[in-house]
Each structure stands twice: as structure tokens, then as C-alpha cells.
Structure 1
Amino acid sequence: MTQDRATAPDDGIAARRAALHLIEQATGGQRLMSETIAAGALERLSPPDRARAQRLATQVLRQLPTADRALKPFLTKQPPLAVRNALRLGAVEIMEGAAAHGVVNAMVQIMSKGKRTQSYKGLVNAVLRKLAEEPPEAWARMPVPKLPNWLRGPMVEAWGRKSVEAMEAVQAMIPPLDLTPKGDGAALAEALGGDLLPTGSVRLREAGQVSALPGYDTGEWWVQDAAAAIAARVLDARPGERVLDLCAAPGGKTMQLAAAGAQVTALDLSETRLGRLRENLARTGLGAEVVQADALEFDASEAEGGFDAILLDAPCSATGTIRRHPDLPYAKDGSEFGALIELQAEMIDHALTLLKPGGRLVFCTCSLLPDEGEVQVEEALARHEGLTNDLKALARPGIEPDWIAAEGLRLRPDFWAERGGMDGFFIACLRPGARDG
């Protein structure tokens, strides 16, 4: 989809057209928003329009079932996907307080420019105008959007219906922004007007442009969800320890480990993502050895005697990040999860061979599926004689005791719901016995 450079900067057409492209790729192309953006979808937009397009697309995908419910009384049959997405975008904007005439005019103009959609501009005009006549309370009365059945079913089986409904309620909200401080968290929270969370992260309710916040240019903090930051705190790296961060990019955990004084090796398969890691290290003034390699092919001999500790944030379904990435339930269908689960087991096994005797491995995934967390630990313990699960390492400041189970630390979006929730994560600290064989 091309963007219109000639569009006036204040009419919103360019940003809305780009948002529709992102939404269509997720709902019709089964492509994550990050993948579409990486392919250059927003390159021709101004920075403000890029930010607006992403914000609009994210909010529509977050509220997509609610938008469909609001539109249903005004449609006798479903129009093509491109038209349906335009109606969804218009509905979300109107119901969240945007000026209805501006939204309607923009959607009609966008429809009129497309060969496949121009015949529907009258429908879009009529439906959105009728929707705009609905009282604002009608939107507030809509039920919380539910996850698609392919994901909701396994989650209900794992956590129960009430817990899943509580997670969905958090996922329907715009999440706050979490920062990991390089130094004093209390001072950073005061400087930015944020809240210091019990685990040490700083949470901002209204962040605005991240790069414009005080301390960004000087590298005093980095963006990292509070749940993700807990994994490195569980590892508890000490000054001088040799620590391997597997699957390290974009570098949040690498920076935590380096800030603790460890000698960090940051490894990742993607050179592009490692570029972001290097940029983050440069901005924060932190150092690490950066290695581009396949984690499964990283040879033990390259470890020079092994590592004191390893952090393995393994590739996973990312179902724990839906509150920040609402495109995932629409861009994915779960078909690739089996291969990811096999890869996670292989990576655990290989990581254990890279540890020094007496070392420790923190395994984590940003997943809400037990097969990618609790089950992985159970099966790793069965595969490796002498391997132990160090539950005491999980008892970090701010961690509630009932978050820790026999398999490890389970974090969910509905934890801290009154504070804005957190990403779903599973974290375990494993300690090997004598080397296998």
C-alpha cells in the first residue's frame, strides 16, 4: 500500500490509510504489525503520522470484537475485509471521542480512492453517521473483548474461565509504559512523575514520545515491561561473573546484566535485532560482547570454560504480550507453537552444556501457555539427572508468594490489574548437577 505524500498533514488521511494497511495485514494476511512495519509500510510517513498510524491500528485491534459488536446492528451482511476494517477504525475513533464528521469524511475519502472499495463509500458514510448518533455510554456498556477461540480454549483449560476473563479485561486497556532504571529507581520515578513498582521498575501512565522523556538521551533508563525485567533480577548477576544472554536482542536484559557489573556475552541470531541492541548499549553507556550466532550452534569451547550464569529468554508464542501487541491473536493461529516448544527444549538442553559446574540457568518465556513454561521445566528435570529447580531464587522483592508454584514463577496480565497489569511470563532458575554422561 502506498502512502500519499501530498496529503495535508492535519487531515489524518495518510496515518489512517497506513493504520488500515497494518490492520488488514494482521486480520487478512496473518502478519504481525512489527513484520509489516519492518517491511517498510510506514517509511514514507512523517514521524507524527507513523506514531499515529501505529496507535490507531493497535487500538482497533485491541477493541476489534467491540467494534464489530457496535457495527452489527447497522449491517445486513458483512462487507469485504478492507471495508470492514475501515468501519472498525471509524467506529473506534468515534466511540473514543474523535470528531465524528472528520472521521466519517476521512473514511469515505479513503474508500473512494480504492478500486475494490469505492462502491462502498456510501455504506461507510451511512453506517458511521448512524453509529455517531449512539450515546457514548453504549460503548462503555459493551462486554470486554474476548480472545479468539484458538487461544482462549487452551488458556481457559490452563487457568480457568474467571482468570482468563480477568486477563482479557487488562488486555483491553491501553497499557502503561514501564522503564528499567540504570541507577536509582526512586529518583527516576520522582523525576518523571511515575510510580516505582515493588519489583524496581518505574511505571508511567502518560508517557508521550519516549525519546523526548528526560534521561533518554543520557541513557538513564530503557523501556522494558516490568514482568520482563524480573527474569534478570532472578538471575541476580554479580560483578565480574561471566554471563551469557541467549536470544538477547533488543537488549533489555543484557543492559540489566551489564549494569549489575557482569561480563556479558549477548548472543542473537538476528543481525538486524542486534543492531538495536548495540544502539541501546551505546545510548546507556553499558558494555557487552555482542555475538551473532545460532544459539544451538554456539560451541561450548567458545565459552572458555563455561559461564557462571545463563539467561535464556527462549523464542515462544509471545501470548503473554497481547496487552501491548493486540495484533498477535489475529496474525497467528497457533499452528507454529509445536515447533517452538520443541526448540525451547533443545535450547534448554544446549544451554546447560555451556554452564560452569555450580552455574545457574534462568529459563523464561513471555507465554501464557504452560507447555512453554511449567511443562518445559517438568520435562527438563526428567531429562537431566541432578538438575534442580531453585525456587528460592524466585523470591525477589515485589514477588507475591502465590505467584511461585512448584515449577517456577508464573506472571499473568491480571496480576497488578489495579496498577495496569503486566505481561505474562514464566521464569525458572535451574541448577545442574554433575555433567550428563
Structure 2
Amino acid sequence: MEARRIAVDIVAGALKRAQTLDAALDSEHGHPDLARLDARDRAFVKVLAAETLRRHGQIDLAIKRFLEKPLPKSAAMVNTILSVGACQILFLDVPPHAAVDTAVSLAAADRAGRHFRGVVNAVLRRIDGARDDLRAMPDPGRLNTPGWLADRWTAAYGAEVAGAIMAAHLEEPPLDLTVRSEPEVWAQRLGGTALPTGTVRLTGAGDVTRLAGFEDGAWWVQDVAAALPAKLLGNVQGLRVVDLCAAPGGKTAQLAAAGATVTAVDRSAARMKRLEANLARLGLAARTVVADAAEWQPDEPFDAVLLDAPCAATGTLRRHPDIAWIRRASEIGRLADLQRRLLRRAVDIVKPGGTIVYATCSLEPEECEAGVDALIDAGAPVERVPVGAGEIFGLDQCLSPAGDLRTLPAHTPVPGRDPSDRDPRGGMDGFYAARLVRT
């Protein structure tokens, strides 16, 4: 029952207090009771919390169908207990009686919830009885997406592509690794697949730290789409490159492994410590600077700038389903203003003739091409350099009309595949990247 109690706390933290799953599951600063669980129970907590949030819309509808009247605000935790219980019955291989019994026990342990033990028992048993019908609700992608996001994606990409994006978010993502070398060898050793991009993809990998090559620094975790923007800088051997907003350091590692002299800048001291720890494990070196990238001024300009700007992260809902319920539409404009400040700073600190790659893990146009277009229209001394399909391993479906990189969760990392033709190797995160050269 302890694992389920912690999962309830984590789901409540996301839905009620906007606490991210990453923060709650952090091994050092996350939920205080996680460390007491064994590895198997910790993994169950992660899967249960993530799937409850991934299917939040569907689960909420199921609960409302069998709840005779809304619960009072004082019993907010009961709603979360019901959600976690319903998730186990509908979407996980948990015996229904175990899900019901533990949910009733959790309600009994809650000061307000003890009065609703009967309600919890009745609602979950009714959900179990209607399990097949509830699983077969039409258009589950749309049901599990907040309305404001669904409307934005439909406006930006059209109804068909937006529907494919929302459907892709319901698939549990595989584990992607960027390897230092020999992806085919590591794919065979780890029981995975070497994708055309060089990423090694695993399914059902379990505890990452127990995989071969982790301690030796042979690879690092990085979604296949997240590994593409750094490649747009081309050959960086011997170049001075700055990675702005660098933590947790996947792109810094790529640049360092490719032979660049890297400066990593991030405003968070805690996140920078994690970046430094990752580089140490990988045996890679970079100069690290804790500073606000929008204000930081280096002693001399760089040959190239990689700016992976803070954003709404709506392209990462496959891996971070909590983001859908934490973000608000009002945040997009504020983040876009910050991104444009960072873009101007990137222009200021790169040499004439130097390259800037601007990237976000967002699906929102304001955070992507609109910011680049605004920079150019304002007369900044830059030119857009279109990306060629060959530079992204033939993934021409991931190119925008302007020649920018645009990956979608509905895309597959295989050249020539239509987004509607789902590949068993899984999709990719939604990323945007534009390449600029300072004139």
C-alpha cells in the first residue's frame, strides 16, 4: 500500500500544486518516502503516477460517470485516490480487488477521506464492471488532452496531425540513448535497436543505472529528437561553442564528445551540479557558468551558439504527461518574451560568420518559428540557413516549409514514413530548431 500512497501524493502534487513528476521522483530532492522503497516499488510508483496523469481525462470521465454527486473540496484527496485506483483497474495489469482494497484503505487513512470509504469502494467496483466500455471510449487522445492545447494544435497543424499528436502521447515512450560510438554494437549489447540517426532505442529497459555502459560513460539518456539540434552546428571539432540554458547537459555532452571547446551556461546552480556530474560520468569536459543566459556577457564572442531555450515543453508529453495539466495558456506569451531576449543575446555573443542553433521542445508556434521570424524581421544581423534532409538522416518529414527542423510526437525516426503509419519502434519528442548565421 505504501507505493500506492506515494503515487497518490505525487499525482496530487502535479494536479493541485503544479509539481512536476521529475521533481517528485528525484532521487535526492523528491518525495521523502521514495528512498524507503525497493527498486521494484519505486518503478511501480513511477509507472502508476505517470499513467494516471497520461490518462487523466479518461479517468476523470469514468469517475464522474459513477459518482452520484461531486465530492466536497475538503475531500480533494479522495478524488486523487479514486484516480489512482481507476488507473490500475483500467490501464495497468493490477488485480481489481487489490486496486479497490488499497484505495479504500488509503481513503480510511485520510482525515476527510474516511467518511467516503463506501463511495470509493462503490465507484471503483462500478468502474471495474464497465472496464471494457470505459477503455473503448472514442478518441482517447482528445479525451486526455486539455482543451486549450487541443485547440492550439488543431489551429497550428490541422485536425488530422493534431489528432495523431494526441494519440502518440498515450503511448509509453521507449528509452533513447546517445552513444559515444558504435551504436550498432551497443544496440546488440543492450538488446535494443540502432535508429538511422545513431540513437540506440530500448524498450522495457528498467533501471538505467544498471545497464551495461552506464558506469563507463559509454552513453547518456537523450530522446532521438533532442539529439538532432546539436548536429545542425555541423563539424564543431576545435570550435569554441557555448551551450545556453545547458542543464541537464545532453547537448553539452554531444558537443564535447564531438571535439568542441564547450562553455555551458545555466541559471540554476542545482541543475548545473547535475550537468557536471553527468559530464564526470561520461569523462567529458566543459567550462560551466552559473548565470542568467539573457544577461551573461562572455569575454569574447564564440564560434557557435546552441540555445535550447526554456519553453512550455509541450513537445515532451510522451515522457512528461504531467506537463499537460501543469501548463496554462497564459504562460506561452511570457515564455516567448524570454526566448526572444535569449535569441538577441545569442546574436550578441557569436562571431560574424558564426552559427546559432535555436531550439525548443515545444509544439507552440509562438515559441518556435515566430520568435525566429520576429528576430529577422526586426533587422537582426542574421540569416536563416535551411536544414537539409541529409543533415537529419533523411527525415524529410521533419522539415518545415522554411527549412527549419520540426519533429512531432506523431513522427517516427525512420526516413520516408507517414505520421499516420505508426512504427513499432515508437515516435519522438516534439522539437523545433532553426539555424542562423550572423552576417
- Of 121-130 and 35-44, deviating more is 35-44
Distance 1:407 1:373 in 2: 13
Structure 2 counterpart of 1:165, from 154, 163, 166: 163
Taking the TM superposition and a 5 Å limit, the aligned residue runs for 1:166-315 are 166-300=164-298, 302=299, 304=300, 306-315=301-310
SS at match of 1:228: coil
Kept in 1: contact 2:86–2:127 (CA 8 A)? yes
For residue 239 of structure 1, report the CA deviation from its aligned partner: 1.5
Taking the TM superposition and a 5 Å limit, the aligned residue runs for 1:145-160 are 145-146=141-142, 147-160=145-158
Distance 1:42 1:181 in 2: 33
Give the letter aligned to residue 37 of structure 2.
Answer: S
Instruction: Identify the residue that residue 3 of structure 1 maps to in structure 2.
Output: none
Kept in 2: contact 1:78–1:84 (CA 8 A)? no
Give the letter aligned to residue 374 of structure 2.
Answer: E
Distance 1:394 1:273 in 2: 34
Distance 1:210 1:230 in 2: 22
For residue 36 of structure 1, report the CA deviation from its aligned partner: 4.1
Instruction: Identify the residue that residue 83 of structure 2 maps to in structure 1.
Output: 88
Structure 1 residue 130 corresponds to structure 2 residue 126:
yes
With the length of structure 2 as denominator, give the TM-score of the two structures.
0.91
Instruction: Identify the residue that residue 313 of structure 2 maps to in structure 1.
Output: 318
Instruction: Identify the residue that residue 45 of structure 1 maps to in structure 2.
Output: 36
Coordinate RMSD, CA, aligned? 1.8
Instruction: Identify the residue that residue 14 of structure 2 maps to in structure 1.
Output: 26
Distance 2:397 2:210 in 1: 38
Structure 2 counterpart of 1:109, from 105, 111, 125: 105
Distance 1:124 1:222 in 2: 43
Give the letter aligned to residue 432 of structure 1.
Answer: R
SS at match of 1:200: coil
Give the letter aligned to residue 77 of structure 1.
Answer: K
- Of 320-329 and 86-95, deviating more is 86-95
SS at match of 2:330: coil
Structure 1 residue 74 corresponds to structure 2 residue 62:
no
Give the letter aligned to residue 46 of structure 1.
Answer: L
Instruction: Identify the residue that residue 62 of structure 1 maps to in structure 2.
Output: 54
SS at match of 1:235: coil
Give the letter aligned to residue 431 of structure 2.
Answer: F
Percent identity among equivalent residues? 40
Kept in 2: contact 1:237–1:257 (CA 8 A)? no
Q: CA, structure 1 residues 100+321, in 2 after alignment: closer, same or farther (shift >3 Å)?
A: same
With the length of structure 1 as denominator, give the TM-score of the two structures.
0.91
Kept in 1: contact 2:48–2:84 (CA 8 A)? yes
For residue 21 of structure 1, report the CA deviation from its aligned partner: 1.2
SS at match of 2:435: strand
Kept in 2: contact 1:65–1:145 (CA 8 A)? no
SS at match of 2:428: coil
SS at match of 1:364: strand
Kept in 2: contact 1:234–1:393 (CA 8 A)? no
Q: CA, structure 1 residues 64+135, in 2 after alignment: closer, same or farther (shift >3 Å)?
A: closer
For residue 200 of structure 1, report the CA deviation from its aligned partner: 1.4
Kept in 2: contact 1:394–1:409 (CA 8 A)? no
SS at match of 2:432: strand
For residue 32 of structure 1, report the CA deviation from its aligned partner: 2.3
Kept in 1: contact 2:187–2:193 (CA 8 A)? yes
Kept in 1: contact 2:14–2:20 (CA 8 A)? yes
Instruction: Identify the residue that residue 369 of structure 2 maps to in structure 1.
Output: 374
Superposed CA deviations along residues 192-236 of structure 1, whole A, max 9, x for unmatched, are 111111211111121111111111111111100111000111122
Structure 2 unaligned regions, length at least 5: 413-421
Instruction: Identify the residue that residue 396 of structure 1 maps to in structure 2.
Output: 391
For residue 183 of structure 1, report the CA deviation from its aligned partner: 1.0
Superposed CA deviations along residues 246-271 of structure 1, whole A, max 9, x for unmatched, are 11110100110011011111111111
SS at match of 2:36: coil
Instruction: Identify the residue that residue 423 of structure 1 maps to in structure 2.
Output: 429
Instruction: Identify the residue that residue 339 of structure 1 maps to in structure 2.
Output: 334
